[in-house]
Structure 1
Amino acid sequence: MPAKGEGQKIPGSSVNLLSRFAENAFWIGRYVERAENLARLIAVTEALSAGNDDTESWTSLLQTFFDEPAYEATGRSRTGLSISRWYILDKDNPNSVISALTLARENARALRHIIPTEMWRQINMLHGTVEGLTARKVTLPRLNEICESIRLGCQAHFGVVDSTWYRDEAWLFHKLGCELERADQTTRLMDISNFKLMALGEDGAIPTGAWWNSLLRQASGYQAFRRKHRVNVDPADAAAFLLFDSDFPRSVRLSMLQAFSRLDDLETDYSAPPDQALVVARTALATRMQDRPEALVGHGLHTYLDEVQRDLNGFANAIASRYFGSG
């Protein structure tokens, strides 16, 4: 949903930013990051399905977002082409790329007096590029190219933000939203590859690192992973890298450490400390990241990813309640 907030200062702080503007900034970060990661998820699903309409692989994408009932209601067939078009182009799908970018632009419009002109221009260009896509243009052979274009456009947004936006409290909320969304989406990206790996094991095949090689590439982590692991990829090593590495930008752990740092900055620089509910949610998430499961493949990994996602949602809701008066 687009950000909604009251025209009041953030309670219990000396912050000059209105709570609704903080929420706008937060959701710009979340929505652009979501669009990029949707493109990643679609691309990795296409790679796992070997460029065809493998129903099982594409169904796993629907299951990752709990979108099976919504998709069934459209009456569309469960083909890779139909599902990918739904996730890229369909404005009635709240989890589509075009929906995320439309909401990012609406939130940016509310902050025209705060954000840099370059940032506003970039969001409009990115939105226009995706809106200009038609169903005829979105084909399986072109899917990777289209997803790469969306990813690069989103990355350009974050580059513009980091090079032009004044480092004030609005910037902090934007980064906080981005980091929360990145952590959540990395777990979803992992779950899709793990789903396929489990399916291979159930069929009696010997799981290899091929699926995780593909995942690492789609997470922009292949070269970084190779700096630590010179031999063939072990699925558990790849999972540990994406979850717990402290130096890889897209890891869940680093995303959460950066989000915690934004909260610390809000408290020390802008007198906006967390309330008790946010402290509890933050502690629960930090504890979850410390309590690593013994098995980082198969059902054990799936269960752990579900638990991380629940803690991330609780953390996000506590942030909304504390700073935006919602949740």
Structure 2
Amino acid sequence: MFRFLHWYLLFLIPILIYMFFQKRGTKSIGFSSITLLKEAGMKKTIKHKIGRYLILAGIILLVVALARPQSGKELRNIKKEGIDIVVALDVSGSMKSIDFEPNRLSVAKDTISRFIEGRKVDRISLVIFSGTAYTKIPLTLDHNILKETLASTSTEDVNRDGTAIGMGISVGINRLKKSKSKSKVIILVTDGENNAGKINPKTASKLAKDMGIKIYTVGVGSDITKVPVGKDFFGQVRYQTYRGGLDEELLKQIATATQGEYFRAKDSNALEEIFDRIDQLEKTEFDVNNYFEYRELAFGFIKLGLLLILVGIFLEKYLFLKIP
């Protein structure tokens, strides 16, 4: 964007041009005859006017400079309001089920990692739970260390069997209790039913609601759970297979109580779509203010104008002799 801050001064330019071309009487040295000058080759030509035109151009440029020419570019001041998110991940033994390739836990970790990459201005915490729960990573903007920790997480990280969903929620609440973010979210990823821990999931979800924390629950796994349990005499992997194991009704109640949503992922593609859906539901707020930043151009016009005036004076007074 280009503008003149004092644009009204530009009206001086046509006045200057008018005065320049007005015929006016000039004082000159008296000669009895200029015949000798003309015979010597000194003739009145257009080049004798170059100096005057350069002086005029220089004065016009100085007037342009007085009008304060400025060039501007549009800038945006973006204020980002991030969301505080706790990912509570089930790492119980059933998460090794191979109904997902290579298993439920590996697919869940990869999907969560991609989700983290898209939440660049959000603080995210990682909580893991099995028979109990604890914080792997507190709320952080260092998403690289978060993803590295997530990648190294395994079912061996919690040394107590079972699925303590209530404990997982409680530890997540503890991570968010001091948060000043306008939006606080727990994403609970599990494939089981609550069968461990000292805290009831419904009690934990009620506490989350009172603190303004929204819980999205994600049930992972198909209807068949197939978990490796060792190797036989010939070195072949043995599996324990059973149906069910996921308490969908509980997960729905937790989500509903906190104004969240429940999702079921029966395969890896569905899990990816669920996290994409959560990503859309929990958008980071952006407050955008547009403004212009201007750069002064007057100094360039002043320099060029003065140069033209000096050259014009030299040509007018010293180089070309004015013939009457």
Q: TM-score, normalised by structure 1?
A: 0.30
Which structure ranks higher in relative contact order (CA pairs < 8 Å, sequence separation ≥ 6)? 2
- The structure richer in helix per residue is 1
Larger radius of gyration: 2
Q: TM-score, normalised by structure 2?
A: 0.31
